[in-house]
Every structure is written in structure tokens, then in C-alpha cells.
Amino acid sequence: AQRVTQPEKLLSVFKGAPVELKCNYSYSGSPELFWYVQYSRQRLQLLLRHISRESIKGFTADLNKGETSFHLKKPFAQEEDSAMYYCASRSSNTGKLIFGQGTTLQVKP
């Protein structure tokens, strides 16, 4: 079954500290992995996808098939990074996008 797990509901760090939001997935095929972000009072928006292998707003995420993980990282957190972050997996068969439980990132000044 297609499943995404984000073990942390809340991650609180100080400005300038490194950040790692954990995500693990389970899927029998080759999934496509994404990170979405939802800032306060805004709609969900795509942050990055694993096939792009790019850095957006200083965030990166590497797909580790051995550990079935797709952790989101940023070396120096900024206050404006405070938001809800969702990891998601998409099935190549059905196109369905399944979300993890979400992690609230709180960056303190």
C-alpha cells in the first residue's frame, strides 16, 4: 500500500539552525516524492520534487531508496520558513498523491 509517514508533528528550531524534516514512504513500485508547504492562511504549494533534484528556498531533499526516505533539509533556517510541511508520494499507476501527516516547522528568532 502507498503510505507516507512524517514522524514529527512539530519541529521547533532557532533561526540559523539546521533543519531536517523526516519523511519515510512505503510503495511497491517506483514512487515520485514531493514536498509541499502551506504557509499561514495560504494554499498548499509545491516546494520540490525528487526528480528535479533542485534546491528551492535553500531546501533540498534526497531520495534514499535503501532507507525509503525523502527527508527535507535546510542548513540555516529562517523565520519565514515557519509553515506546515507535507511529504507526499505519487503512484505512477494511478497518479494519486498521498500525503503524510504533516510537520509544523517553527523557526524562532
Partner 1 sequence: GAVVSQHPSWVICKSGTSVKIECRSLDFQATTMFWYRQFPKQSLMLMATSNEGSKATYEQGVEKDKFLINHASLTLSTLTVTSAHPEDSSFYICSAIQDSGANVLTFGAGSRLTVL
Q: What is the C-alpha separation between 20 and 57, in angstroms, rounded?
A: 14
Contact mark string toward partner 1, 75..94, x via CB under 8 A = -----------x-------x
Of the residues 7, 39, 44, 54, which one makes contact with partner 1 according to CB under 8 A = 44
Of the residues 11, 13, 22, 102, which one makes contact with partner 1 according to CB under 8 A = 102
Spell 28-52 as b/e; 16+ CB within 10 A means b. eeebbbbbbbbeeeeeeeebbbbee
Stretch that binds partner 1, among 22-30, 37-45, 54-62, 68-76 (CB under 8 A): 37-45
Q: What is the C-alpha separation between 5 and 75, in angstroms, rounded?
A: 22
The single residue listed with the C-alpha cell 533543519 is: 19
Return the C-alpha cell found at 31: 514512487
User: Does 30 engage in binding with partner 1 (CB under 8 A)?
Assistant: no
User: Does 49 engage in binding with partner 1 (CB under 8 A)?
Assistant: yes
User: Does 101 engage in binding with partner 1 (CB under 8 A)?
Assistant: yes
**Which positions lie near partner 1, rule CB under 8 A?**
36, 43-46, 49, 86, 94-102
